[in-house]
Structure 1
């Protein structure tokens, strides 16, 4: 009889933590699991397919767990956006390591930006959707700024190589132009606007063929 009570007690504890939940999570591990789950949903279903309940189901915790740790869907999505900007910053930093000229480094970063968007469309679109995240979050602002700093450093080196004035206005103008070019190209690609132009090539082949030429026209070596 005592053994039966013990089994019932164990089942009750599992039920309290959520049906099928993992009992071994500590606080940090659960946060990471929920962030990974949210990122997976965005990858598979896009922003429209995201829900806290689905994130909880994938992390195998109770439906209340995401709100408990992040406060709201916007809180969880903010963490995914922060991770996205951090990943983008690394990609932009690594892209230009082997390039000799400032123009080549800038072009390499442009390609890395577009490749990031195509590889992580749900995450990429979320990163710029201020209505879905906590837009006043300091960590999000810092992560976003860091990714822009990678481009800005290449812009400064490019202007210096071209013997152009390096004023805050000149850097800002060049940075806005560079960001607009690669960000716009990314969205056009994700929205399927290149489908006809790309045929019979795949989108990936189209990007590989056309993007370097476009960027070379924007940032030539000479």
Structure 2
């Protein structure tokens, strides 16, 4: 019998099952190996079933990236909230949360950023805004407290973002041991604040 008649078309939670399977595939094999047909086979539906939610592979990748941005924002917001009201503890907690996300979900983060900058990816730009707005609001808090130099929060935050990405890249590339991460975060935050402090 052909595969299409052997496998069921319907699945109670098809969209979420596809996204979960796609994330597992992304972590294990990278973006290039991700296939709608293989995902359908993995979760036990017909090869045509995924197209009910994702008309093509790019639509699935975009949905995966969008969910990634939502998860990143949730983590950053939780870290910031749990750290209390003061700027420095909030900054440290948020930086640590970002770097942990970037090292635990490296392939997903790469997909998030490459997809966001693809022409026509307006939904992803919108999905990314809350996480970046949270970081910019944190920079503004530091400016209002006199801890950081005045100016465009995006411009002030570029060095911080580059530092976070750099540390994550070093950990992901096995150039820095993950157990050194907490100390690196402390050093990075201290050096950023010292370098961005008003003259």
TM-score where L is the length of structure 2: 0.84
- Write the distance in 1 (CA, Å) between the matches of 2:165 and 2:147: 27
Residue 120 (str. 1) matches residue 102 (str. 2): no
Task: List runs of 5+ in structure 2 lacking aligned partners.
Answer: none
What is residue 144 of structure 1 aligned with on the other side?
A: 128
Report how many residues are paired. 194
The one of 183, 186, 196 equivalent to 2:165 is: 183
The alignment's C-alpha RMSD in Å is 2.6
Give the CA deviation at 1:110.
0.9
The answer on whether the counterparts of 1:106 and 1:219 sit within 8 Å (CA) in structure 2 is no
Verify: 1:160 aligned to 2:134, yes or no: no
Q: Relative to structure 1, is the Cα distance of residues 150 and 52 closer, same or farther in structure 2, using a 3 angstrom cutoff?
A: same
- Structure 1 unmatched ranges of 5 or more: 1-11, 195-202
In the TM superposition, residue 51 of structure 1 has moved relative to its aligned partner by 1.8
Cα distance, 1:64 vs structure 2? 2.5
Distance 1:46 1:128 in 2: 15
- Which is higher, the Rg of structure 1 or of structure 2? 1
TM-score of the pair, normalised by structure 1: 0.76
Deviations 1:23-43 (A, max 9, x none): 4x25xx212211111011112
Which residue matches 2:180?
206
